[in-house]
Structure 1
Amino acid sequence: MKNQPTLSQILSRRTLLGASACTALAAVLPPQEAAAATSPADPWERADWIVRSIRTTSFPDADFPITRFGARAEKGHDNGKAIAAAIAAAHDAGGGRVIVPAGTWESGAIHLKSNVNLHVQADATILFSTRPQDYPIVFTRWEGMELMNYSPLVYAHGQENVALTGAGTLDGQAGPDNWWSWKGPWNGTVEHGWKEGMADQRPARARLFQMAEANVSPEKRIFGEGDYLRPAFVQFYACDRVLIEGVKLRRSPFWQVHPVLCRNVVVRGVDIHGLGPNNDGCDPESVDMMLIEQCTFDTGDDCIAVNSGRNADGRRLAAPAQNIVIRDCRMKEGHGGVVVGSQISGGARHIYAERCTMDSPDLWYAIRFKNNALRGGLLEHFYFRDLTVGQVSRAAITCDFNYEEGADGPFKPVLRDILVQRMTVARAARVLDSQGLPGAPVGTVRIEDSRFDGVTHPSILAHSPDIRLSRVRVNGAPVQRL
């Protein structure tokens, strides 16, 4: 491995080549040591191997309080420059913790650098501006497509050994009076502020789709003022060794935790609450080697949604989301608990979830796969065990190949090798809603040693010929087929 380039060298070369070269990052990253060829064949042994193999962050024992750089916990005082100065000083010194002490600190976008841990202490709140001009245009990804758009509230691009930690709060201040109304029409559980006749994201979203399908270079897809494409909350882009731990995220404009093209990511003990439009909890996109554990999700969209790029952009990068372990998490409101898709054209494999609890009348599904014939992508090797579900309003498990644009398209999705073990559900309208496509059936789904109570409707099976049940009980009675 001595002759392999480091991530910093690769990113440096990419910078010299121009922004569009970042799209090739996944293709040129050096392979992780002890690569998949040496990993265990048994699924749960492989999950343990993933957790052991993730390279973790480590920081020098040096603190850089933002107050040293002029930060003031005063209403109306913008601390963005002071926080940036503290981050730069820590980075230049070889690394350390940038301390946000108790108090309320107003700021615009925060950009992290290598070897820096932004540590938000207990009783500290970073209160983010709601003015779009406080978020400069950066290279980012929006709904699975690369572009130049408003910076995420917390952002790092091409950095190594970087963290966001602490017991404090990051408050995006999003609501019906700002950010959320940019969505346009939406049928969520909270008021989001949009009324007929107001400007919204739909024209820009359609233009971005067209540019991606036409293979316009990402650095030429420039959006911002007047386009109404909301920024993500926390986004680490093309980073290696990332830690997000302990913080509370509140009132997000859009997706909340969004690592993209990252490797060696740990999200631990994060409390995420945001019920606005597209307030997904955590969206690992084209990520390799990741652990999500002990987190709480109460969201306006999917709690955890594994992604790998939308349509042509996902196929262009061809970077699957893989080797992701989810454990000991709690899911409340949301469209799905553990979800794969729908921005999944780059594929996904080796995803594990265990010992999670899910319960809300406003949680649609516990396990959810969503795809269509414009996305395509190879999705395989998904393992779930010891999931405790109080109630979901629709189905416990769904495989949906008709999501959004539906069945018309040349890129038939492939979904196979799904194993669910020891799942208990107290209430669900259906056990399974599995709908493949003609010529693209859902592959093998195995459900073992599981119990589903409070079921009121029969399962829906379309183009799903390989559903296997072993020791499954529905409303108390053993069943052999759904």
Structure 2
Amino acid sequence: MPAPLRRRTVLFAGGAVLAGGATLGGGTAPAAAGPAPDAQVIEILSRIRPPLFPDRWYDVTDFGAVGDDATDCTAALRAAIEACHRDGGGHVVVPAGDYRTGAVHLLSRVDLHLKKGARLAFSHDPAAYLPVVPTRYEGTECYNYSAFVYAYGQRDIAVTGQGMLDGRADATHWWDWTGGPPPNEGPDKTTLLQMAAEGVPVEERVFGEGHYLRPNLLQFNRCENVLLDGITVKDSPMWNIHPVLCRNVTVRGVTVDSPHGPNNDGIDPESCTDVLIENCTISTGDDCIAFKSGKDADGRRVNVPSRYAVVRNCEMADGNGGVTAGSETSGGVMDIFVRDCRMSSPHLERAIRIKSNPQRGGTIANIDVRRVTVGQAADAAIEIVLNYANVITGAYPPDVHGITISQLTVASAPRALNLLGLTDDPLRDIHLHQCRFDAITEDNVIEHVEGLRLDQVWINGARVDN
């Protein structure tokens, strides 16, 4: 194995050299990736089964909902869901129309089915998301405003159809809580992190009314057998789709249209097991898909990884990252497989992104990416960094190793690679195989990396294998 790279490394189009002129790597090129990752994909998919629902149908208009974009339909939606659940499950149908509502809480064996032309238009009033519920806010558990669509501890739940969940967040509703003149979320975020660091019980970490921690658009917490199919989600206060501590999750054919808001991640599985994300179209103000597992002390307390996930046949436009791990990595992110995705936008900063720091910790391993096509990216096509938020010291250095990226093609980006380990915590075993980067305008940066392998890698038409 090559010695750790302890100096800034620059990969030029004509070859690979260290900043001081020494040769990077050496020896024969490694063999192509074997069949083991594909076998793992097959095994994961064999365990993922979308829930099935009885052939019972409950039209929300029969419970008093009116799609006139004016009537408060919260009680009607709740009554329909409760009736469906009480009868043993089925489908709660929202026909075409604009339905104003507050928090919608799903129950076991219920599919919330939005017909084409149906729109749930969520209230701007924070009181519509009370009482507080158990949640995770940026990787830390607390009690806070309910997500707009929420479930806790339920089994066999779904949101399906061709309709829309419209969070209606904008610069004067929800997004204004992120900064600027008080009141804003800053003091509450600081308080929550202090509570977690000091071991304050979750039941005593109560926010909600009078506080400014933004809710998710959709969060399923500690649920099993989850399906999101065909819907459009739009303009969330923060993360759009956020399954937490769930098992057997399918997100299929979903459109995330939320490119303008702060922290508007598209799909963020956090501490989830057996996840399939396929045929989705995502444009966000932050990461398109981000695997997470809790933050700092609280993430280590819960200590549940995101593990066994497949992302395939998705399209990403705007976003800070196309497929991302982090930055909340304290419980670990492992066994993530990305296949046959397309990404392109002048506002897509990075295609593949892994980010953590030595306060977060966690193991990030066995990330396998194949056949991703990138048209345009605005920063590094591939970024793996351990100095996220400019934090370079801490007691919990992440363990990042076993990252394989094969058959990635990039038509245009400033930089192909931005790989930044730390002096005492190098990245390990990063393998690029059959990758091509064109129209690269800036030198690549590599610091503190052990076992970087470039096999049939081309930058601006020149092969840069080591």
TM-score, structure 2 normalization: 0.91
2:123 to 101, 110, 129: 129
Contact kept, 8 Å, 2:69 with 2:121, in 1: the verdict is: no
Q: Does 1:45 align with 2:39?
A: yes
What residue in structure 2 maps to residue 83 of structure 1? 77
Task: State whether residues 374 and 405 of structure 1, in contact with CA within 8 Å, keep that contact through their aligned partners in structure 2.
Answer: no
Aligned to 1:391: 376
- SS at 1:344 equivalent: coil
1:112 aligns with 2:96: no
Q: Which residue of 1 aligns with 2:217?
A: 233
Structure 1 residue corresponding to 2:235, chosen from 239, 245, 251: 251
The residue type equivalent to 2:438 in the other structure is D
**What are the equivalent positions in structure 2 for 1:125-204 lying under 5 Å apart?**
125-136=119-130, 137-184=132-179, 196-204=180-188
Aligned to 1:37: none
Q: Indicate which of 340, 361, 368 corresponds to 1:376.
A: 361
Q: Deviations over 1:422-459 (max 9, x none)?
A: 00000111111011111100011100111100111111
Is 2:41 aligned against 1:59? no
Q: Residue by residue, what CA displacement relative to the aligned partner does 1:440-480 show, whole Å, maximum 9, x if unpaired?
A: 00011100111100111111011113210111111111112
CA contact (8 A) 2:70 2:99 kept: no
Q: Distance in 1 between matches of 2:362 and 2:390?
A: 15
> Identical aligned pairs, as a percentage?
45
Partner of 1:299: 284
SS of the counterpart of 1:480?
coil
What is the number of equivalent residue pairs in this alignment? 431
Q: What is the deviation of 1:334?
A: 0.3
1:314 corresponds to? 299
Residue of structure 2 in register with 1:70 after alignment: 64
Report the residue type matching 2:349 in the other structure.
W
Query: CA offset at residue 63 of structure 1?
Result: 0.2
Structure 1 position 103 matched with structure 2 position 88: no
Query: Partner letter of residue 164 of structure 2?
Result: T
Match of 2:437 in 1: 452
Alpha-carbon shift at residue 41 of structure 1 (Å):
8.0
Q: By how many angstroms is 1:408 displaced?
A: 1.4
Aligned equivalent of 1:14: none
> 1:109: how far off?
0.3
TM-score w.r.t. structure 1 length?
0.88
Please state whether the residue corresponding to 2:388 is helix, strand or coil: coil
Corresponding residue number in structure 2 for 1:272: 256
Distance 2:435 2:445 in 1: 18
Contact between 2:276 and 2:309, CA under 8 Å: does it hold in 1? yes
Runs of 4+ deviating beyond 6 Å: none
Question: What SS is found at the alignment partner of 1:423?
Answer: strand
Q: Which has the higher contact order (CA 8 A, sep 6+)?
A: 2
- 1:224 aligns with one of 189, 205, 208: 208
Kindly indicate whether residue 366 of structure 2 is the aligned counterpart of residue 366 of structure 1.
Answer: no
Structure 2 residue 236 is matched with structure 1 residue 242: no
Give how far 1:52 is off.
1.7
- 1:96-152 CA-to-partner distances (Å, cap 9, x unmatched) read 000000111110000000000000000111111010000011100000000000000
Question: 2:446: which partner in 1?
Answer: 461
Cα distance in 2 between the residues matched to 1:343 and 1:465: 23
Could you give the per-residue CA deviations for residues 346-398 of structure 1, whole angstroms, max 9, x where no partner exists?
00110000100000111111000000000000111000000000011111111
> Where does the alignment leave 5 or more consecutive residues of structure 2 unmatched?
1-33
User: 1: distance between equivalents of 2:182 and 2:135?
Assistant: 26
Q: Give unmatched runs, 5+ long, in structure 1.
A: 1-39, 185-195
Deviations 1:143-187 (A, max 9, x none): 000000000000000000000000011111100110001011xxx
Does structure 1 residue 208 correspond to structure 2 residue 203? Answer: no
Q: 2:456 aligns with which of 443, 454, 471?
A: 471
8 Å Cα contact 2:335/2:366 also seen in 1: yes
Q: Is the 8 A contact 2:356 2:386 kept in 1?
A: yes
Which letter does structure 1 place at the counterpart of 2:409? T
